[in-house]
Amino acid sequence: MSDTHSNSNINSQKKTAKEAGSCNTKEHREWNRRSFLQALGLVGGGSMLFANTALSVSQPSPLSAALSDGENDNILIICRFSGGNDGFNTIIPVYDYDVYANARPIIKIPPSEFINLEQDQFAMPKSLNKLENLWGDGQMKVVHGVGYENPSLSHFQGSDIWANTDPDNFRTRSGFMGRYFQDIYPDYAMNPPACPPSIQIGSVGNLIFRGPGNDFSFAVSNPERLLQIAEDGTSYNLDMLPDCTYGDRVRFMREMTNTTFNYSDEISSAYARSTDFGTYLDDSLGRQFNIISRLIKGNLGTRVYMVTLGGFDTHSNQVQRHDELFRSFSEAVSTFYADLTAAGWDDKVLTMTISEFGRRFNENGSEGTDHGTAAPMLFFGTGLQGNGFVGEHPDLNTLTRGGNVTNTNDFRQVYATVMRDWMCVDEEVIQTAILGEPMESLDLGFNCTGGGSLQNNGEEIAHVVTYDENNQPFLNINTPSMTHVDICLYNIIGQKIATLSNEMLNRGNHVIDIRQAANTTLSTGQYVYQIQSNIGNYSKSLIIS
C-alpha cells in the first residue's frame, strides 16, 4: 500500500472520528439506513466481500422463501481447471494416435500409460486412474471439443467469457448463473433466500455467479476459510457502541454483517448434521470436495457449488505438472462420489469441469503447450445414466490459428443443456442467462420432466409464462385435478400488486392474460407471480415490457 493511500486512510479515519462526536438529531434524521446502504454501494449489489467471504445484507422474506424452492433440487458442482487445461493429454485421441504423437514427440502419453475408455478410440492417462471405476459404473461422460468461435487466448478474457457467455464482449460484467439467480430471486438485494444460492471456493472474483444487480455466491478464498465458517460460524459484537451517528453506522454495518453470517450459521448447522467420509486426500481439492459433501449431506439447500484447481497453465514441464494435478482431481472426484453414494446422494449431484481455454495441439519447445482453443468437458454422476462420448472430436488434420483445432461443441450449448435438462430451468430464462438463442440439448443422459413444461406429473401444478407477438405476457398453468388457486402478482420488493385469479380450476390447461387479470397499470419491469393451492405453492418471476 502506498504512503499516499495510507495517509488518505488515516485522514479519513480522523474525519470519521470527528464526525462521530457530533451526535445531533439532524444527523440521525438525515442518515437513514437506505442512504447508508447507498453510501456503502450495497443497494442493488446485495453482497460485499468481508474477510474473504461474500456477505449479503438482509433476511429472507416469504416471497424469497417461496422462490428459493427453485425448479428442482438437483445440485451442480462446477470444477474449474484454472489456467487452461490441455485436452489432448486429458482425453487421448487413440484413433489418430500417429498424428497426435508426431505433434507431441516429448509430451505424448505412451500406450503403456493409457487407460482405454473406448477401444481404439479414446483413452485417459493413468494419472486419472481413480476415474476408471466411475467410467465403468456409468458415471462419467466426455463432451468433445468444447469452445466457441474466434476464442480469446487471454486468461482474463477467456475466464470472463466462459462466465459471462458473451464472446463478443468480454467486458460484460455478469455471469450466466448470476443472471439465472437474478430471475429466481428478483428481490435478493433486500430479501435473500434462507441458504446461499451458490458457494464458491477460490475464484472469488469469477463472474459466473454475478448477476446484473447482485452477486449470488457465498465466496471464500480457500477451503480452510470455509471450514472455519462451517465449524464455528462468526458474528460481531454489538455492545458498547456510542449512541450517535457514527455508532449507528457501525451498529448497522455489524448488524448487516451478522445477518449475512446467518449463512454461516446455516452452513455450520448443515456441516454439523453430517459426518466425514474419511478418505479424502488432505490437499486443496480434496478438502474442497470434502466440505461440499458435508454441506450436501447436511441438507444445506445450496444448488450450485464451484471448486477450483489451479496450475493448468502448462507452458513447461507439462507431463509432471499434469500428473500431479490429475492425481489430485481423480482422487477427489472418485472419493466424492463414493461418499455421496454411501449417503444416497449420488443421483442428485452432477459435476462438470470448465477451463478458460484449451491448449495448442503441437507441443512447444519447453516440454509444454501454449494457449489454445477447444478442449473436452468432463461430467460425473449417477444421473448421467451411462458412460460415453458426446459430439465429434476436433479434426486433428485441419489446424487453424497457429496450430489450433476448431471447436465442435459450443460451451453455451453445454450450459443450456445442464440448465434445461438437469436444473429444469424454463427456456426463456435459459436464453436470458446465456445471452443467446435457443440451443438444442446435447445427449448427456438425463432429462427434465418439470421446469415449465405444461405436462404435469400428476401431483403438481405445471406453470410457465409465454408472450404473444406484441410481447404481452400470459400465465399458462396445468392442474392435475380440480383445485382452488389464489394467484397473486408482486413487484420485486414484495408488494402485492394484484390478484390474477382466486377461483376453482378444473383439471387441465388454463391461460391467464396477466395484464387483463391485473386490472391495473403495470409498469415495465420485473414482477413475481405466486400460485397458492391445496396441491402446492409455486412462484416465478416474469418481465412486463
Indicate whether 258 pLDDT > 70.
no
Indicate whether 360 pLDDT > 50.
yes
Residue 253 — very low, low, confident or very high, per pLDDT cuts 50/70/90?
A: low
Buried b / exposed e over 477-514, threshold 16 CB at 10 Å, is bbbeeeeebebbbbbbeeeebbebbeeebeeeebebeb
More confident residue, 146 or 68: 146
Residue 311 placed within a domain: yes
Residue 35 placed within a domain: no
The total of other beta-carbon atoms located within 10 Å of residue 270's CB is 20
Question: Are 426 and 519 contained in the same domain?
Answer: no
Cell reading at 317: 514441464
Which percentage of the chain shows pLDDT scores above 70?
A: 79
What mean pLDDT comes out for the span 20-34? Answer: 37
The total of other beta-carbon atoms located within 10 Å of residue 544's CB is 17
Q: What pLDDT does residue 171 have?
A: 86
Indicate whether 254 pLDDT > 80.
no
Say which CATH number the domain at 530 has: 2.60.40.10
pLDDT tens-digit readout, 144-168: 999 999 999 999 999 999 999 999 9
Q: What phi, psi does 439 have (nearest 5°)?
A: -125, 135
Helix residue spans in 31-187 (DSSP H): 33-40, 62-67, 97-103, 132-136, 155-164, 176-184
Q: What pLDDT does residue 177 have?
A: 96
What mean pLDDT comes out for the span 460-469? Answer: 82
Q: What pLDDT does residue 143 have?
A: 98
Domain count across the chain: 2
CB 353 within 8 A of CB 404: no
Which percentage of the chain shows pLDDT scores above 90?
A: 53
Question: Are 316 and 240 contained in the same domain?
Answer: yes
Question: Are 475 and 348 contained in the same domain?
Answer: no
CA distances for 539 relative to 185, 327, 421, 434, 474, angstroms: 10, 44, 20, 22, 15
More confident residue, 37 or 393: 393
Cell reading at 335: 472419493
User: Which residues have C-beta within 8 Å of that of residue 283, sequence separation ≥ 6?
Assistant: 328, 332
What span, in angstroms and rounded, lies between the C-alpha atoms of 282 and 284?
7
Question: Are 323 and 359 contained in the same domain?
Answer: yes
Task: Give the start-end residues of each E strand in 217-303.
Answer: 217-220
171, burial (CB in 10 Å: exposed 0-12, middle 13-18, buried 19+): exposed
CB 437 within 8 A of CB 431: yes
Instruction: Provide the residue type at 180 as one letter.
Output: Y
What mean pLDDT comes out for the span 251-276? Answer: 71
- Which residue, of 387, 414, 434, is where some domain finishes? 434
More confident residue, 209 or 68: 209
Q: Are strands 217-220 and 198-201 parallel, antiparallel or unpaired?
A: parallel
Residue 458 — very low, low, confident or very high, per pLDDT cuts 50/70/90?
A: low
Indicate whether 532 pLDDT > 50.
yes
Residue 439 placed within a domain: no
Question: Are 414 and 486 contained in the same domain?
Answer: no
Cell reading at 238: 454489538
Question: Are 244 and 323 contained in the same domain?
Answer: yes
Residue 46 placed within a domain: no
Residue 251 placed within a domain: yes
Is 237 in a helix, a strand, or coil?
Answer: coil
Residue 316 placed within a domain: yes
Cell reading at 237: 459484537
Is 187 in a helix, a strand, or coil?
Answer: coil
What span, in angstroms and rounded, lies between the C-alpha atoms of 498 and 522?
10
Question: Are 181 and 278 contained in the same domain?
Answer: yes
Indicate whether 69 pLDDT > 50.
no
Say which CATH number the domain at 76 has: 3.40.720
Q: If you count them, how many residues does the chain have?
A: 545
Residue 44 — very low, low, confident or very high, per pLDDT cuts 50/70/90?
A: very low
What span, in angstroms and rounded, lies between the C-alpha atoms of 229 and 218?
11
Residue 78: name the closest of 367, 359, 292 by CA. Answer: 292
pLDDT tens-digit readout, 472-518: 889 999 998 889 999 999 886 678 899 999 999 998 889 999 999 99
Domain interval for residue 265: 64-434
What span, in angstroms and rounded, lies between the C-alpha atoms of 352 and 146?
12
Question: Are 392 and 491 contained in the same domain?
Answer: no
**Helix 223-232 with 262-272: angle, nearest 10 deg:** 90
CB 383 within 8 A of CB 110: no
| Choice among 18-22, 314-318, 534-538 with the minimum mean pLDDT | 18-22
183, burial (CB in 10 Å: exposed 0-12, middle 13-18, buried 19+): buried
Q: What pLDDT does residue 70 have?
A: 43
Cell reading at 97: 494416435
Question: Are 208 and 300 contained in the same domain?
Answer: yes
Question: Are 410 and 469 contained in the same domain?
Answer: no
Q: Report the helix count and the strand count for the chain, using DSSP H and E.
A: 16, 21
Question: Are 397 and 484 contained in the same domain?
Answer: no
Indicate whether 45 pLDDT > 50.
no
Distance of CA 117 to the CA centre of its chain: 29
Residue 539 placed within a domain: yes
Residue 447 placed within a domain: no
Question: Are 423 and 485 contained in the same domain?
Answer: no
